Homo-oligomer: A and B are copies of this chain.
Amino acid sequence: MAIVDPWGAGDIKIDEKLLKEFGITSFSKELIKKHDHYLFQRGIVTAHRDFKKIQDRIDAKKPFIQITGIASSGPLHLGHKVDIDLFMYFSQFGKSYFAICDIDGYVSRPDEKVSSMHDAKKIAIKNLAHILALGVKQNQVYVQSQMSPAYYELVLSLSKKITENNFRAIYGHLNPGKLAANLLQYADILHRQLPEFDGKMPSLTGIGIEQDPHARATRDLSRKLSFPVETPSFIYFEHQRGLQVGKKMSASQPDTAIFLDDSPADVKKKVNRAFSGGKDTLEEHRKYGADVDIDRAFEILKFHHPDTDIVNEIRAKYSSGEMLTGELKKIVIDFLNEFLAKHQEKVKKMLPIATKMVLKQ
């Protein structure tokens, strides 16, 4: 079986072969229709494990647990925003919990990236301010380093449910810090089902396909616990690619991503440099049109513009050659800068709240 490393390069695309190999189910058209959100409509949320359990709960207007989280390892970019947007969509249906994974961020990243828990918490504060600004409610958020004992008891006791060989088979390594990060991630997904929290209940977590080893490990673990638990469900979303070909969005290569902190000038520069599906000459472009599917500026609209009619109109005009690359990029730059200006205003207001929440001051 292929090993998918959740910490490795993230250029794995969802395809039928992978889905079959890992036992993941594609979203049916029928199921997609039930979810009137662009992440579904535009083929960004594509597959799942056991989503039916969740759909049944939504249809019956019964509660379920939604849980997601972000490791505090660097500034947030548009790729993270997809995670948060998906969380916001499902939070209208379920009991929703957003984990600020400061301990995970510290133990899973090399010291060059996160050198201490103090660093991780500084990152966590900034991340949390962005997350709140994107609409996540304060009472939906928890910070890994600020939990009650039952949570940590679960984190540590899960160590007994996995073996060295087991862990190595899934991840290909057994680094103590990454082992600890995994225990935290398993517990993040499972802890709400403890009797001390919500109790046994279907749960939903949205992840990128490269995180599937975590999903499978968590589902396997859930069958070995000493308290009653529903096997957690997962939905998989496609990752927005890096702005340059062959690169994923990464804090260590700032040109690959638009960060939620970027200035208007940064945005302009990065979008203008982004890999384009437009043709080399005006003549060719007018004749053949752009290859929209490889165009990273268009991809920003696909993943983030809320109005599907506008996105479809741009797609039609750009792929027919009616719209030029420069025109498209201007639209994208204006869209992003308008969004980021408002967003960054909210972030400023949220920073003191985020500081209090992370440091429990």
Contacts and interface: CB of A to CB of B under 8 A. Distances in A.
A144 to B, nearest CB: 8
B156 A180 contact: yes
Given A106-B157, A147-B152, 7 more contacts: A103-B157, A107-B160, A115-B226, A117-B153, A117-B226, A118-B226, A159-B179
A360 to B, nearest CB: 8
Contacts of A111: 160
Interface stretch (A11-19, A64-72, A170-178): A170-178
A152 B156 CA distance: 9
* Chain A binding surface SS class: helix
B164 A175 contact: yes
A331 to B, nearest CB: 44
User: Most chain-B Cβ atoms within 10 A of its Cβ — which of A106, A155, A157, A360?
Assistant: A157
A149 B151 CA distance: 10
Interface in A291-342: none
A163 interface: yes
A116 interface: yes
A156 to B, nearest CB: 5
Contacts of A167: 176
Contact of A176 (B115, B116, B160, B177): B160
Name the residue in A115, A116, A117, A175 with the highest tally of chain B Cβ atoms < 10 Å from its Cβ: A117
Contact of A164 (B103, B106, B174, B180): B174
Contacts of A175: 163-164
A226 B116 contact: yes
A190 interface: no
Interface string A157-195: 101101110010000011111011001100000000000
A145 interface: yes
Instruction: Count identical subunits in the complex.
Output: 2
Contacts of A149: 145-147, 152, 360
Contact of A159 (B118, B180, B360): B180
B160 A106 contact: yes
Question: Sorted from nearest, which 4 A-B pairs have the closest CB atoms?
Answer: A159-B180, A152-B152, A160-B177, A116-B226
Contacts of A183: 156, 180
A103 B153 contact: yes
A150 B153 CA distance: 14
Contacts of A163: 175-176
Contacts of A159: 107, 176-177, 179-180
Nearest to A111: B160
A228 to B, nearest CB: 13
25 contacts: A103-B157, A106-B157, A107-B156, A117-B153, A117-B226, A118-B226, A145-B149, A145-B152, A147-B152, A149-B360, A152-B152, A152-B155, A152-B156, A155-B156, A156-B180, A156-B183, A156-B184, A159-B176, A160-B180, A162-B176, A163-B175, A164-B176, A167-B176, A179-B179, A180-B183
A212 to B, nearest CB: 21
A164 B111 CA distance: 16
Nearest to A152: B152
Interface string A136-150: 000000000111010
